[in-house]
Every structure is written in C-alpha cells, then in structure tokens.
Amino acid sequence: MSVSLKRQVNFVTGLHEWLGSGSGIEKSMLGFEMALKEHGSRRELLWLERIKRTVQRGQPIAKGMEADFSPQLVMVMRLGQKYGCLGPILSAFNAQNQRERAGLVLWMKKMSYPLLLCLVSCIALIFIGTQVLPRFADQGVFDDAHQMTVTAQIVHRLAEFLLIGLPLIVGVGILIAIGLRWLLPTVAAPWRRHLESLYIFRVYRRTQLISFLRTSSILLHHNVSFAAILQELKALSTPYLRHYLTIFLARVRRGEFEVAQLLRSPLVDKTILFRLQCQNPKLPLNERLDTLAVYVEGDLDRLLVRAQHLIAAACFFLAGCFMILLFLALATMMRLLAQGAM
C-alpha cells in the first residue's frame, strides 16, 4: 500500500527536528519513537524501526529509507546528510511539493465545473439519442410525411458514436497516461527531442529543471562545488535528467564555467538561457540559480493557466453545441407531437 508523499515528508521533517536537538542519534530516535507511539502512528514506527537497524549497522539513514520512501525524498536525505544541509534542502523540497499539490488542487477546482458540464451534456445526448428518439420513431412520430429531421438524425448518430467512443476515448486516455508516466522520466533518446515542444513534455521539463536549480542552489550555498553537485545528482536522478547532467558534467570537466553555455541543452529553453545571460555575473552562482528557478516557476504557472483556459473553453464549447442540438431535437419532437394531437 503506497503512502502519500506528504506523510513521508512529515515523517522526515519530524526525524530531522529530533536529530537536530543535540541529544545524539540514539536518544533522538528514542524521543521520536515515543512521539510516534503517542500519536498512534504505526506505519511511521515501522519506518523508524527499519531506519534504526540501518544506523546500528553503520549505514546512513537514507539507506534505511529506500524501501519505504520516494526516490526523491531519499535523494534529499542522502544529500542533506552528506553535506550538512538537510534542513534547507528538506524545506525546499517540502515547499515545492506543497506548491505542486496546491496547484493541482486549484487546477482541479477550476476545471471541475466545465468538465462536469461537458460530461453531463454527453450523457444527456446519449440518453436522448439512443433511448428517447428511437421510441418516438417506433410510436410513429416520424412518419412518411415527417421523416426524422436533420437535427434529430445528428443527435441520434452522435449519441451512437459517443456510446461507443466515449469509453474508448477514456480507455485510450488512461493508457496514454500510463505510457507517459513511464516515458517522461525514463527515455532520453535523441528522437525525444521531436516531442519536447508538446505540452506535457514542456511541463515535465520545467519541473525537472526547477528541482535541479533549487537543489544546486542550496548545495552551492553550502560550499559544494558545481562539479560535485552534478556528480551527486547524476547518480540519484531520473534517466531523463541524468542524460543532461552527464552533458553538463563533461562541459565542467573541459573547463567550461560560463553558466549559460554550460546549461545550453533541450532541457533549458532559449528564453530561460537568455534570462540567465542577462543576470549580473558578479552575483553568487547560487543566487543566480535560485532567481532563475523563480522565473521558471512563473513560466510553468503561466503554461498551466493557458492550458486550463483552453481546456475549459473546449468543454464549454462542446457542452454548448450538445445542448443546442438537444434543444432543437426536443423542440422538433414537441412540435410533431402537437401536430399529431391535432
């Protein structure tokens, strides 16, 4: 059974606070264990027990987290412990996670009404087109003198299409989502460059870039060299990001230290590189990367809002078209019923 990332972050944050109390690892873990027992956190107690056994074997805490925690959180713990910056890097990870979660909740709230309206109009059209209109036809409402109108025919045929096509579209959408969940972090082949301009790839690329910039900024602030940062992240990142980190590391080893030239790749858009070039080169590199991360976050927000508006507009347009067709078809049936009654 998977556990939410928020719960994992809360556990690691609590563990970090106890470890930072200055009481030593054993007493800190004992105190954290007592706190977890007081709150009845059974799963967290199992996590802590596994971590305690790992520490007793002389291994780092991150090693004991590998079986239960997300790879990103394990990476945060490993880097934070190794370079003495667990607090800042954990706070940055938590802030980014909260920001993404809040953005997703807000996006779903704004999209729930247009999506629900579109779904209800589809169901109404399917019901009228496949159930009501055929019954009217069986009852002789559409006789030889009054054949089924063009509008009613459109509603009937569209309803038959949606009855089969809607579940098919949903099924294909689920398969595409599963495929993208594997493809986005895994594949870094040359042919992927042709897909990087697609919306979902642009969003994923920006999330990866933000994570890289934030982590690099924090480690640079703690006097870790950029080459060491790239080496560490290369070993811990997804295959997609690792491909570009390998390129960056090779450039550093060749003596390239101009950041804009160093980061030039499909991972970083030209506008982002230009903004990096416009920064004051006298500023510390960690500040420059942190400022760039803020810009990329704003760019990502604008990208999500634009997609939200387009999807909402499409939903409203489809729902409006369906409702107009239904209104015209029902109006025609009422008119024919009234004529038949006379």
pLDDT in tens, the chain (342 residues): 467 888 888 888 888 888 887 777 888 888 888 888 888 878 889 998 999 888 888 888 888 888 888 888 888 888 888 888 888 888 888 888 888 888 888 888 888 899 899 889 989 888 888 887 777 766 655 554 344 567 777 888 888 888 888 889 889 999 999 999 899 998 888 888 888 888 899 999 999 999 899 889 988 888 888 898 899 888 888 899 999 999 999 999 998 878 888 899 989 988 888 988 888 888 898 999 999 999 999 999 899 889 889 999 999 999 998 888 888 877 777 776 666 555
Read off φ and ψ for residue 340, nearest 5 degrees: -65, -35
CA-closest candidate to residue 128, choices 169, 160, 168: 160
CA-closest candidate to residue 321, choices 74, 154, 202: 154
337's tokens: 């019923």
Any idea which residue has 């036809």 for tokens? 137
268 close to 209: Cβ distance less than 8 angstroms: yes
Read off φ and ψ for residue 222, nearest 5 degrees: -100, 25
Give every CB contact of residue 306 below 8 A, 6+ residues apart in sequence: none
CA-closest candidate to residue 329, choices 64, 85, 47, 129: 129
| Spatial separation of the C-alpha atoms in residues 118 and 163, rounded to whole Å | 15
| Spatial separation of the C-alpha atoms in residues 337 and 140, rounded to whole Å | 10
Res 248: pLDDT? 93
CA-closest candidate to residue 284, choices 259, 263, 267: 259
Any idea which residue has 């920064």 for tokens? 279
